[in-house]
Amino acid sequence: MGSQRGVAGYLPYLAALALAIHGLIHFLGIGVYFEAVQMADLPYKTTLLDGAIDVGDVGIRIFAVLTAVAGVGFIVSAVALVTNWRYWRQLLLAVTVFSLVCTTFDWSVASMGVLANLAILAVLLVQLRQA
């Protein structure tokens, strides 16, 4: 029984690590969409919604900054979780919804991000129902 409590004690840290990694992945767009790095799995483009909307060079850079804002939000949420800040759930909910919008717009390369965001929302929903 004591070992289960010990393992459960690590869950917030593991969740925070996953949130921080998810946040860091958001920063890939800055490098690619500002043409600082090249990645085969994340090619430079100026379109969103799988090519339906051409936002141009400036638009894709603005989009990259917005996705980076979501990345910062996930890292801050991770810190808020491990420090047990009373509003960490609300912060994470807002960041995740914002990230879901961003990743949906870039679905062709960010579909795994959409799934990660949906998983985070599902966990938050379960926690709210238990409260």
> Which sequence spans correspond to the domains of the chain?
2-36+44-130
Tokens of 89: 């759930």
Higher pLDDT, 4 or 9: 9
pLDDT score, position 15:
97
- Return mean pLDDT, the chain: 94
17-62 pLDDT, tens per residue?
Answer: 999 999 999 999 999 999 999 999 999 999 999 999 999 999 999 9
Confidence check: pLDDT of 1 > 50 = no
Q: Are 34 and 61 in contact (CB under 8 A)?
A: yes
Query: Under 8 Å CB-to-CB from 94, ≥6 apart: which residues?
Result: 73
% pLDDT > 70, the chain: 95
For 75-114, the pLDDT digits (tens) are 999 999 999 999 999 999 999 999 999 999 999 999 999 9
Q: What is the CA radius of gyration of the chain?
A: 16
How much is the pLDDT for 85?
97
CA atoms of 27 and 22, how far apart (whole Å):
9
Three-class HEC string of the chain: CHHHHHHHHHHHHHHHHHHHHHHHHHCHHHHHHCCCCCECCECCCCEECCCCEECHHHHHHHHHHHHHHHHHHHHHHHHHHHCCCCCHHHHHHHHHHHHHHHHHHCHHHHHHHHHHHHHHHHHHHHHHHHC
